[in-house]
Amino acid sequence: MVVVVQVVALAVDATSFITASSASKEAFKTATLLKTLSVNSLITGDAGVGKKSLAKYILPDAPVLDASDFDELLTTLESTTQIIITNLQNSPNIKTLVDTIKLHNIRVVATAKNYIVNDTLDELFSVKFDIPPLSQREEDIKELILLFSNEASFLFGGESDFNTKDFVPDLTHNSNSLRRQVMMNYLLQDIQDIELIGIIQNYLSDKLGSSSDYRKFLYLYEVPLIKAGLNQYKSQLKLSDKLGLNRNTLRKKIADNKDYLN
């Protein structure tokens, strides 16, 4: 019998969970219960929602292998009593994998991007977790931003305060993209002009070579200037005055850079 458990969880590491939302608190209770039970579990969800971290919380001492590393996975199954299998959807042979797990009576926690319709897997996994995207957990986002900014402070040195004014979280890859965004913003929030020039120089160093490069890369200057100006002045008329540009000229620049200004 398959028990499908709908939970929300975002594991920060193998032993620490963000529990700002009520659903995450419930997930922590569920995971803690699973630590004491000898049942196999399948965790599904998008990249960065915490599947692997949640699996590590349940089985902290288990080896972790990707399902696509099939030969290594089968070899490991012969010498372990518990295992974490990630990206189960990439397994080249589900039946052989399941048969080997059953043969050696191994405790398994697996992860997959989506629910896999497979009778063999339904027999193996008695508990299934579906972890929704981070965009549905506003309270967890706030806590993660704080966590990642503290991490950035530790890694790079400096104050732990992170300026969240006008900060729009990048949740395209859930906690993965959010962490990268916070790290980048932490480094750049107090950046000096000479450092910024150096970053742009490095970016352009291997991209130059045509007679239209000046016009081609002008957006690197114009887009952030326009976006910052529109955010501050809330009006194209005011911005054109502050920049000393004709309003029609500003409109043309906005139109030319529409792909970056939307």
Q: CATH number, domain at 83?
A: 3.40.50.300
| 184 shares its domain with 233 | no
User: Using CA atoms, how far apart are residues 181 and 157, in angstroms rounded to an integer?
Assistant: 17
| 241 shares its domain with 127 | no
| 244 shares its domain with 228 | yes
Residue 13: pLDDT band with limits 50, 70, 90: very low
Spell out the residues 6+ positions from residue 256 whose beta carbon is closer than 8 angstroms to its own. 219
**Domain count across the chain:** 3
Asked, for residue 155, whether it belongs to a domain, the answer is yes
CB-CB contact of 145 with 186 (8 Å) = no
Burial of 26 by CB count in 10 Å (0-12 exposed, 13-18 middle, 19+ buried)? middle
| 49 shares its domain with 127 | yes
| 255 shares its domain with 163 | no
| 39 shares its domain with 20 | yes
Percent residues over pLDDT 90 in the chain:
55
| 46 shares its domain with 90 | yes
As a whole number of Å, the CA-based R_g of the chain is 24
Residues 28-75 have pLDDT tens digits of 888 888 999 999 999 999 999 888 988 999 999 999 999 999 999 999
The residue among 101, 116, 132 that closes a domain is: 132
| 116 shares its domain with 90 | yes
User: Using CA atoms, how far apart are residues 113 and 130, in angstroms rounded to an integer?
Assistant: 10
| 74 shares its domain with 22 | yes
| Distances 168 to 165, 177, 193, 219, 252 between C-alpha atoms, Å | 9, 12, 23, 21, 26
Q: Strands of the chain (E only): list them.
A: 3-6, 41-44, 64-66, 82-86, 107-112, 127-130
| 42 shares its domain with 116 | yes
User: How high does pLDDT run on average in the chain?
Assistant: 87
Asked, for residue 15, whether it belongs to a domain, the answer is yes
Asked, for residue 195, whether it belongs to a domain, the answer is no
First and final C-alpha spacing in the chain: 49
Q: Strands of 69-197 (E only): list them.
A: 82-86, 107-112, 127-130
The residue among 116, 132, 148 that closes a domain is: 132
Give residue 17's pLDDT: 67
Asked, for residue 201, whether it belongs to a domain, the answer is no
pTM score, two decimals?
Answer: 0.75
Asked, for residue 199, whether it belongs to a domain, the answer is no
Asked, for residue 69, whether it belongs to a domain, the answer is yes
| 89 shares its domain with 184 | no
| 127 shares its domain with 161 | no
What domain range includes position 186? 137-190
| Distances 67 to 31, 92, 121 between C-alpha atoms, Å | 22, 8, 14
Give residue 7's pLDDT: 45
Tokens found for residue 172? 């395209």
Three-state DSSP at 111 gives strand
Cβ neighbour number for residue 16 with a 10 Å cutoff: 12
Asked, for residue 198, whether it belongs to a domain, the answer is no
Spell out the residues 6+ positions from residue 129 whose beta carbon is closer than 8 angstroms to its own. 5, 7, 9, 27, 30, 41, 42, 43, 44, 45, 54
Residues 120-144 have pLDDT tens digits of 899 999 998 888 889 998 999 999 9
Asked, for residue 202, whether it belongs to a domain, the answer is no
User: Using CA atoms, how far apart are residues 59 and 15, in angstroms rounded to an integer?
Assistant: 10
Q: Which of 23-27, 36-40, 111-115, 217-221 has the lowest mean pLDDT?
A: 23-27
